[in-house]
Amino acid sequence: MWKLGRLFTMFRKEIMLAWAVLRDPRAPRAAKLVTILAAFYVASPIDFIPDTLPILGWIDDGLVAYFLLQMAFRFLPPELLAVLRSRVDARGRARAAQE
């Protein structure tokens, strides 16, 4: 069960990083475009595997979104990616300290 919680935490950090990419004016347009594409894929009713298959449809959405986000992060300059990751990690540590 702890693996599922760890996976959720990792995915939450990736989503927070994607939000940081969208908000940062230094991020290239290609990175922002692919990030938006990942969000549209998750929200879209058109999927490789339909969401009517409960587990497989959700895994499909998660995997495609994850790979699209990883592609978006490759468009970022390495120093900007490091700054955004450290900002997300600091925000996560602050949230954990409050709980």
Domain ranges of the chain: 10-98
* Percent of the chain residues topping a pLDDT of 70: 92
Quick one: pLDDT at residue 93?
80
Q: Over range 37-46, report the average pLDDT.
A: 87
Average pLDDT over residues 19-29: 96
Taking the CA atoms of 1, 51, 64 and 56 in sequence, report the sign of the dihedral they define. positive
pLDDT of 10 over the 70 cut: yes
Provide the pLDDT for residue 95: 76
Mean pLDDT across 7-15: 81
Cα separations in angstroms, 32 against 21, 39, 71: 7, 11, 11
Residue 20 has pLDDT above 70, yes or no: yes
Kindly tell me if the per-residue pLDDT of 2 is higher than 60: no
Distance, in Å, from the CA atom of 41 to the CA atom of 85, rounded to the nearest integer, reads 24
Dist. CA 7–CA 59, nearest whole Å: 12
